């Protein structure tokens, strides 16, 4: 897990360097054009444009290589990724030195842009590697200036920008190189110190996050055991009440029957609550779902039929529409069916008699969109997200229906999230609300299908 995260972050950094290089190529072309055409500086224009073109080609090849490694090759190793990054940083120092060579060498104040490169290197590499990178920068730039100073390499003058031959003055060259090296090492020291602090803080956050996850896991395990035990006792109590209710142990008078009936109703509600809590907790504890290709069409029919009696009893207009293209999807059939059933039951529950409840299933480009809309009580405006929280029930819903677990939509959210879909609710302009969720179509090819993304 840690190496996957590390490799993701190295891949990001490698791409970041590629993006920065595109900016650098654009800056080089614009600066060369402006300096030569507007300021009339005597630059080796064609050499600089050639360097820009070569860097663009190199960057394109590098970008393609990275894309190949990330998309097609199996997990590029950490070693390979850090080699690519180190190579890029080293190559950038050489490229910068070549650009400086064709644009005045030590007389070009842009040699200070080595500092940017060293800062970037220090944020990516280890402390030792950062010092080595700075040393490499000093070595390549120092070699260039000394070779130009000793006449081994040609010197391109920046006339009329610089009219004195600073490059030939050994004291100036050595003095500048000394300040240059000291600055680079100081920059490495400062940047790596800041990076160390940041990394320490990040490690701290990650540890706290891990501890919280562990605590959450223990809490869920505790709830699971507790609810499991309570469920056993409740089922036993309801079993005894049923024996009495069905008069197996003898006749009951009206008062006794009424009390037993009330006890039984409470036990049934309590069992429904405990079952919902058990389901939610189990889902949180176990990472994966049992995914398979299944007929969504059949699940839609089943769910629709499950809420039909309730809708009829309230004399609701109850209908569904489904795109003909909707057929099989990849997912956990029972959970998807239960989710649709729950939402339909909610709509039936929260819609006054004579209202409308409609189910629609659409085949969108890369997902299936399932929507349940009703003409019911609606959701208080700022609570459309809160209703997906565990145990949350809006005040208007509590007035209509005293009993409710507040867990149905939390379970639905867990189910949809595990299918990597989205779930949301909104109020209709004409009254009532619409509950929607999506199931992606490419789930089967997704390596993390069935787990939380
Ligand atoms: P329950 O229905 O048992 O309260 P749910 O988790 O299914 O629990 O729903 C949570 C809350 O979302 C409900 O209490 C209600 O406030 C709101 N809600 C759900 N469905 C609807 C609906 N069709 N119309 C209006 N409000 C709804």
Residue bearing the bigger pLDDT, 145 or 161: 145
Residue 11 predicted with pLDDT over 90: no
Residue 421 alpha carbon to ligand 1 centre in Å: 20
Ligand 1 shell residues, CB under 6 Å: 346-347, 350, 374, 376-379, 387, 393-394, 397, 404-409, 433
CA-CA distance, 162 to 106, in Å (whole number)?
A: 11
Residue 241's nearest CA partner among 215, 268, 222 is: 268
Cis peptide before 160, with omega less than 30 degrees from 0? yes
Alpha-carbon 175 to chain mean position:
50
Residue 370 predicted with pLDDT over 80: yes
Q: Which helix (H) or strand (E) holds 220?
A: helix 170-245
Best residue among 387, 389, 423, 428 to mutate for probing ligand 1's pocket (most ligand atoms within 8 Å of CB) is 387
Phi, psi of 428 (to 5 degrees): -85, 145
- CB 423 within 8 Å of CB 388: yes
Name the residue ranges covered by the structural domains of the chain: 2-168, 292-445
- CB 359 within 8 Å of CB 300: yes
Q: Looking at the chain, how many residues does it have?
A: 453
pLDDT in tens, 36-59: 898 888 888 999 999 999 999 999
Question: Looking at the domain that runs over 292-445, which CATH code has it been given?
Answer: 3.30.565.10
CA-CA distance, 203 to 194, in Å (whole number)?
A: 14
CA-CA distance, 5 to 407, in Å (whole number)?
A: 33
Best residue among 348, 406, 411, 427 to mutate for probing ligand 1's pocket (most ligand atoms within 8 Å of CB) is 406
Burial 65-75 (b: 16+ CB within 10 A, else e): ebeebbeeeee
Residue 397 alpha carbon to ligand 1 centre in Å: 7
Best residue among 316, 371, 393 to mutate for probing ligand 1's pocket (most ligand atoms within 8 Å of CB) is 393
- CB 412 within 8 Å of CB 345: no
Residue 150 predicted with pLDDT over 60: yes
Residue 19 predicted with pLDDT over 70: yes
Q: Whose CA is nearest to atom 22 of ligand 1?
A: 347
Q: What is the pLDDT of residue 316?
A: 97
Residue 453 predicted with pLDDT over 50: no
| Closest ligand 1 atom, residue 404 Cα | 3
The model's pTM: 0.67
Q: Whose CA is nearest to atom 3 of ligand 1?
A: 404
CA distances from 222 to 1, 96, 283, 305 (A): 26, 61, 14, 36
Mean pLDDT of the chain: 91
């Amino acid at each position: 897990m840690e190496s996957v995260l590390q490799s993701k972050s190295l891949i990001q950094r490698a791409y970041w360097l590629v993006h920065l290089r595109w900016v650098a190529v654009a800056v080089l072309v614009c600066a060369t054009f402006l300096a030569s055409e507007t300021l009339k500086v005597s630059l080796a224009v064609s050499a600089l444009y050639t360097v820009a073109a070569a860097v663009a080609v190199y960057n394109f090849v590098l970008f393609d290589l990275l894309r190949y490694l990330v998309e097609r090759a199996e997990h590029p190793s950490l070693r390979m990724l850090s080699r690519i990054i180190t190579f890029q940083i080293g190559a950038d120092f050489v490229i910068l030195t070549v650009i400086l060579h064709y644009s005045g060498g030590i007389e070009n104040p842009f040699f200070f842009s080595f500092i940017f490169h060293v800062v970037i290197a220090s944020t990516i590499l280890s402390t030792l590697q950062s010092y080595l990178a700075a040393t490499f920068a000093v070595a390549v730039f120092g070699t260039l200036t000394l070779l130009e100073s000793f006449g081994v390499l040609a010197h391109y003058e920046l006339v009329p920008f610089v009219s004195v031959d600073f490059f030939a003055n050994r004291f100036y060259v050595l003095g500048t190189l000394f300040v240059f090296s000291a600055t680079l090492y100081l920059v490495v020291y400062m940047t790596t110190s800041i990076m160390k602090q940041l990394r320490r803080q990040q490690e701290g956050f990650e540890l706290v996050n891990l501890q919280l996850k562990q605590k959450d896991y223990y809490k869920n395990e505790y709830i699971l055991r507790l609810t499991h035990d309570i469920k056993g006792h409740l089922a036993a109590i309801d079993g005894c009440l049923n024996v009495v209710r069905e008069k197996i142990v003898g006749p009951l008078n009206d008062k006794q029957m009424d009390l037993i009936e009330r006890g039984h109703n409470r036990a049934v509600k309590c069992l429904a609550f405990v079952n919902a809590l058990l389901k939610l907790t189990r889902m949180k504890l176990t990472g994966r779902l049992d995914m398979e290709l299944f007929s969504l069409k059949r699940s839609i029919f089943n769910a629709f039929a499950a809420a039909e009696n309730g809708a009829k009893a309230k004399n609701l207009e109850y209908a569904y529409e489904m795109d003909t293209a909707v057929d099989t999807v990849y997912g956990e059939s029972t959970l998807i069916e239960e989710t649709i059933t729950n939402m339909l039951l909610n709509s039936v529950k929260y819609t006054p008699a004579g209202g409308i409840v409609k189910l629609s299933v659409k085949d969108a480009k890369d997902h299936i969109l399932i929507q349940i809309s009703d003409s019911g009580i609606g959701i208080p405006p700022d609570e459309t997200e809160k209703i997906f929280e565990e145990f949350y029930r809006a005040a208007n819903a509590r007035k209509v229906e005293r009993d409710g677990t507040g867990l149905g939509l939390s379970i639905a959210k867990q189910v949809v999230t595990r299918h990597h879909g989205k779930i949301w609710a909104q109020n209709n302009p004409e009254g009532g609300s619409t509950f929607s969720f999506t199931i992606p179509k490419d789930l089967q090819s997704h390596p993390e299908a069935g787990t939380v993304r």
